[in-house]
Amino acid sequence: MSKKYIVRCKSVNQNMNGEFVFNNSNFEAPNLLPGEKASVELLYGKDKGKAVVHEIIEPSAERINPECQAYGSCGGCCILHTNYDNQLKLKTDTARKYLERYGEVRDCIGLEERRFNYRNKIIATLSLDKKGRVISGLYEETTHRVVPITRCRLENEHAAEVMATIREFMDKGRIKPYNEDNRKGTLRHVLFRVSAEGETLVVLVSGNKIFPEKNKLAKIIAEKHDFVAGVVLNYNTKKTSFVLGDNEEVLFGNGYITDRMCGMEFRISPRSFYQVNTPVAEKIYTDAIMRAKIQPEDTVLDAYCGIGTIALTAAKLTNAKEILGVELNQAAVRDAKENVKRLGMKNISFICDDAGDYLNAAIGADIHYNCIIMDPPRRGASESFIKAVLRMNPEKIIYISCNPESLARDLRALTIKKYNVDYIQPYDMFAGTAHVETVCLLTRKAQ
Ligand code: SAH
């Protein structure tokens, strides 16, 4: 047994791990809150600087019992051991740590009633337990071992119902999950997309080109669950950590779902990006667009636009002269164009390109946008995009970010000479996890 030490937690870091100092060194441990006294075990080697809580000796008044049995082993959630108000406070603190130097960071906004079962995109990975029964769940945080989860607190409940059917079918029909090491078996993952009304798309991901039971399984899923609008088979035979492969075939119904957001219907394909928490995303989009105070003479660029949700919301809520969305993923652009057609909107178009390349080309062609809305992936915007924004010099920029660290890096480049940050608002889009979404408004400095 390793030695235990008594420590006092002073703060949490961006991973929501508790931080403490011991023998003049900094340590972090999951499941530890500011102010708590705990006995901990220190880790060494590659885990140097990390610790494991053995016992909480003086619990924080903010501590609660996590409402999930897999908490701690699955790695999906990391702040269920504290009440929701405190979860929001800890997220505000994280956002402040990275962003305070650019302006006042407002308190993180969350929807308490949506802190559970909000995920509209669910990925279940399949494996076998020791007795050879099919299990489904999430990978353990740092390995490829599947932690079985029959009911995840964050996911829409429809996924768990269908997964039970799939596991039963596999056990009865002796269908084996795909094994990444020996490349045998078939079903690898199941991806779900669920609309606000519960309409569900089930994407079966096969690691093998041959899946003889595919139609039988699709039929059983559709017959048993009337909320299923489509079953798609996706082939992913490569050794990869990506969930979806390039080829797919529709086995039942549609190959996409439609969801209502900001009063509009959106078509979403398996591969298109769509925010996982629709009601919070609605709040974020509306807030971002209102803050931009878009005028009739404005030309707006929605960069990293996905299926066009922000561009279309801007078209609906404002009378902008022109809106263009740019996005790299072809399937998402196809969805975006389809969405415009169905909604019959004018003055709005989409282009499939790298956001930086497009903006440089636009500058070369003397095209100007006076409002840029940007919503890049976790790594933030590319250097070429930021440089092009500075060259184009729009009056206002709305930056929507899911990572305060890359946001801070990009704000630094944008604020050196040209922009002020007038508004910084964090949102709890991913309740239960350490992630924070932030909306910023930047306006051009007087020259
Ligand atoms: N604004 C959208 C999508 C945001 S997610 C929404 O709210 O739904 C970020 C998007 O950026 C993804 O759709 C991803 O495909 C896209 N993307 C990633 N790299 C890109 C690049 N270099 N140029 C353009 N789009 C990119």
User: According to DSSP H, which parts of 196-308 are helical?
Assistant: 214-224, 278-291
In the reported structure, the alpha carbon of residue 308 is separated from the centroid of ligand 1 by a whole-number distance in angstroms of 10
Our mutation pick for probing the ligand 1 site, out of 266, 268, 273, 430, counting the most ligand atoms within 8 A of Cβ, is 273
pLDDT mean over 14-38: 96
Beta bridge partners of 113: none
Q: Is the CB of 250 under 6 A from ligand 1?
A: no
Q: Is the CB of 437 under 6 A from ligand 1?
A: no
Q: Is the CB of 377 under 6 A from ligand 1?
A: yes
Our mutation pick for probing the ligand 1 site, out of 305, 372, 374, counting the most ligand atoms within 8 A of Cβ, is 305
Question: Which 3 state secondary structure label does DSSP give 397?
Answer: strand
- Tokens for 397, please give them: 């920029």
In the reported structure, the alpha carbon of residue 343 is separated from the centroid of ligand 1 by a whole-number distance in angstroms of 22
In this structure, which residue's CA is closest to atom 16 in ligand 1? 304
Q: Is a pLDDT exceeding 90 seen at residue 26?
A: yes
Q: Is the CB of 60 under 6 A from ligand 1?
A: no
Q: Is the CB of 355 under 6 A from ligand 1?
A: yes
Q: Is the CB of 49 under 6 A from ligand 1?
A: no
In the reported structure, the alpha carbon of residue 329 is separated from the centroid of ligand 1 by a whole-number distance in angstroms of 7
- The active-site residue, picked from 74, 152, 262, 402, is 402
CB atoms within 10 A of CB 418: 17
Whole-number average pLDDT of the chain:
95
Active-site annotation holds for 402:
yes
Among residues 247, 219, 217, 251, which one has the least CA distance to residue 126? 217
User: In which band, very low, low, confident or very high, does the pLDDT at 1 lie, cut at 50, 70 and 90?
Assistant: low
Burial of 48 (0-12, 13-18, 19+ CB in 10 A): exposed
In this structure, which residue's CA is closest to atom 3 in ligand 1? 306
Please name the residue that has the structure tokens 């800890």: 90
Q: Is the CB of 354 under 6 A from ligand 1?
A: yes
User: What's residue 143's pLDDT?
Assistant: 78
In the reported structure, the alpha carbon of residue 205 is separated from the centroid of ligand 1 by a whole-number distance in angstroms of 23
Nearest atom in ligand 1 to 281's CA: 7
Distance from chain centroid for Cα 110? 15
Dihedral sign (CA 240, 242, 245, 249):
positive
User: What's residue 73's pLDDT?
Assistant: 83
What are the E-state strand segments in 247-298? 247-253, 257-261, 264-268
* Residues 205/245, Cβ–Cβ less than 8 Å: yes
pLDDT mean over 56-63: 98
Nearest atom in ligand 1 to 273's CA: 13
Q: Is the CB of 357 under 6 A from ligand 1?
A: no
Amino acid sitting at position 394 = P
In this structure, which residue's CA is closest to atom 20 in ligand 1? 328
In the reported structure, the alpha carbon of residue 377 is separated from the centroid of ligand 1 by a whole-number distance in angstroms of 6
CB atoms within 10 A of CB 66: 17
User: What's residue 174's pLDDT?
Assistant: 83
**Which DSSP category does 8 fall into?**
E
Q: What single string gives the DSSP state of each residue in 143-163? A: SSPEEE-SS-SSB-HHHHHHH
Q: Is the CB of 305 under 6 A from ligand 1?
A: yes
User: What's residue 165's pLDDT?
Assistant: 97
Convert the pLDDT of each residue in 67-119 to its tens digit.
998 898 888 899 999 999 999 999 999 999 999 999 999 999 999 998 999 99
Burial of 151 (0-12, 13-18, 19+ CB in 10 A): middle
Our mutation pick for probing the ligand 1 site, out of 242, 304, 307, 354, counting the most ligand atoms within 8 A of Cβ, is 304
- Tokens for 40, please give them: 């901990």
Nearest atom in ligand 1 to 274's CA: 8
Our mutation pick for probing the ligand 1 site, out of 193, 327, 373, 427, counting the most ligand atoms within 8 A of Cβ, is 327
What is the C-alpha separation between 116 and 45, in angstroms, rounded?
A: 36
Any idea which of 134-148, 259-273, 358-372 has the lowest mean pLDDT? 134-148
Convert the pLDDT of each residue in 123-162 to its tens digit.
999 999 999 999 999 887 777 788 899 899 999 999 999 9
What is the C-alpha separation between 407 and 392, in angstroms, rounded?
A: 20
